[in-house]
């Protein structure tokens, strides 16, 4: 498996480093679990959006991003997901990584210190070179939009 070096450092005092840095739960996991570095319980009412601190910063290799993705169990069981899924951490960002959660469920949900709240996936980035043209090539789908093939 291809590995890239991602530099990571704490941005919280040493006495608050009881949360773990992101880590893969299994040998073939695509995403690293990330924990909440909240200082107290964080209650999220249905429909609420919160920004959850993680306590660390990263430096990515040029040409890569980290995608912030929901944890499937939280999403399916509680309706808790990433508001801008997938979120993106750019290679030139050096601030604290924070996770933007939204509660789409029907009941309040409480985030506690050390709860696994998201997954981080390192992904290569391709940049587009836009070329203005007079028209586009035709396809079978052409301009068919949302739901154009039926159900």
- pLDDT number for residue 81: 98
Domains, the chain? 22-124 (2.70.40.10)
Can you tell me whether residue 23 is helix, strand or coil? strand
| 55: CB partners within 8 A, 6+ apart | 10, 11, 12, 16, 17, 19, 37, 96
Q: What is the pLDDT along the chain (151 residues), one digit of tens a residue?
A: 889 999 999 999 999 999 999 999 999 999 999 999 999 999 999 999 999 999 999 999 999 999 999 999 999 999 999 999 999 999 999 999 999 999 999 999 999 999 999 999 999 999 999 999 999 999 888 787 777 677 6
Query: Within a 10 A sphere around the Cβ of 60, how many other Cβ atoms?
Result: 22
pTM score: 0.89
Q: Distance between CA 118 and CA 53 in Å, rounded?
A: 12
- pLDDT number for residue 88: 97
- pLDDT number for residue 151: 66
C-beta of residue 66 within 8 angstroms of C-beta of residue 26: no
Q: Distance between CA 116 and CA 20 in Å, rounded?
A: 10
């Amino acid at each position: 498996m291809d590995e890239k070096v991602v530099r990571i450092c704490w941005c919280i005092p040493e006495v608050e480093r009881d949360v773990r840095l992101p880590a893969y739960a299994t040998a073939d996991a695509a995403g690293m679990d990330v924990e909440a570095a909240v200082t107290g319980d964080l209650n999220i009412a249905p429909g609420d959006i919160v920004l959850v601190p993680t306590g660390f910063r990263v430096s990515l290799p040029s040409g890569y991003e980290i995608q912030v993705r929901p944890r499937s169990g939280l999403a399916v069981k509680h309706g808790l997901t990433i508001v801008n899924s997938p979120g993106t951490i750019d290679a030139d960002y050096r601030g604290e990584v924070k996770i933007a959660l939204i509660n789409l469920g029907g009941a309040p949900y409480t985030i506690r210190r050390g709860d696994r709240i998201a997954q981080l996936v390192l992904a290569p980035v391709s940049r587009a070179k836009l070329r203005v043209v007079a028209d586009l090539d035709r396809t079978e789908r052409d301009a068919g939009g949302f739901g154009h093939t039926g159900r």
